Chains A and B, each alone.
Chain A
Amino acid sequence: EDQVTQSPEALRLQEGESSSLNCSYTVSGLRGLFWYRQDPGKGPEFLFTLYSAGEEKEKERLKATLTKKESFLHITAPKPEDSATYLCAVQEGDRDYGGATNKLIFGTGTLLAVQP
């Protein structure tokens, strides 16, 4: 069964204290892995897409990496405004309707709190 597991469930950091969030997955064929940020009362906001093992992407203090079994979201010198829930999702590699299926399987998220 396809599954996405995120850890830890919650993480509290001091401002400037770097850390990593983990997303491990089991899926029959990975087409893409997505990271989203979600603020309270808002919809998920897209951060990164990773397609193949070894790929890395960066945006400000965030860096996402991908292996064949997991992805990491590294947060370098976080600031209080980085506080949010970070969601990981995988897109299956089955192809139908003339292209890739868009179905996403989400993890339960990591709630990050960065204290000043």
Chain B
Amino acid sequence: NAGVTQTPKFQVLKTGQSMTLQCAQDMNHEYMSWYRQDPGMGLRLIHYSVGAGITDQGEVPNGYNVSRSTTEDFPLRLLSAAPSQTSVYFCASSRPGDTQYFGPGTRLTVL
């Protein structure tokens, strides 16, 4: 049982480039979410999904897209990276209303 996995661990982008952060879980959890963590700000919810085919916005969704075609995967897309998106990104999964389990994170730097 790998739990929640994220790739890549580190990424450096130039302003305007696009990329996809990958997240997968093998616990058959219906709920998945993406957070970003910035110094002094705490973890903030970007997007979340309550099941395959259903996604919704969190607190800070601008500049990010998500889709959920399978229960296992929940990729986060940056359409045109900006320096303000430099952050550490965490994916989490859970059963409805239950404890969320986090992945190891992706550290993204946008130059």
**A interface residues, Cβ below 8 angstroms from B:** 4, 31-32, 34, 36, 41-46, 49, 87, 89, 91, 97-104, 106-109
Asked whether, in the complex, the Cβ of B42 is within 8 Å of the Cβ of A108, the reply is: yes
In contact, B100 and A104 (Cβ under 8 angstroms):
yes
Residues of B within 8 A of A42 (CB): 104-105
Which chain B residues numbered 29 to 85 have a C-beta less than 8 Å away from chain A? Answer: 31, 33, 35, 40-45, 48, 50, 54, 58
List the count of A-B residue pairs having beta carbons below 8 Å apart. 61
* B44 smallest CB distance to A (angstroms): 8
Which residues of B line the A interface, CB within 8 A?
4, 31, 33, 35, 40-45, 48, 50, 54, 58, 90, 94, 96-105
Quick one: which of A4, A46, A100 contacts B99, CB cutoff 8 A?
A46
Q: How far is the CA of A49 from the CA of B44 in the complex (A)?
A: 19
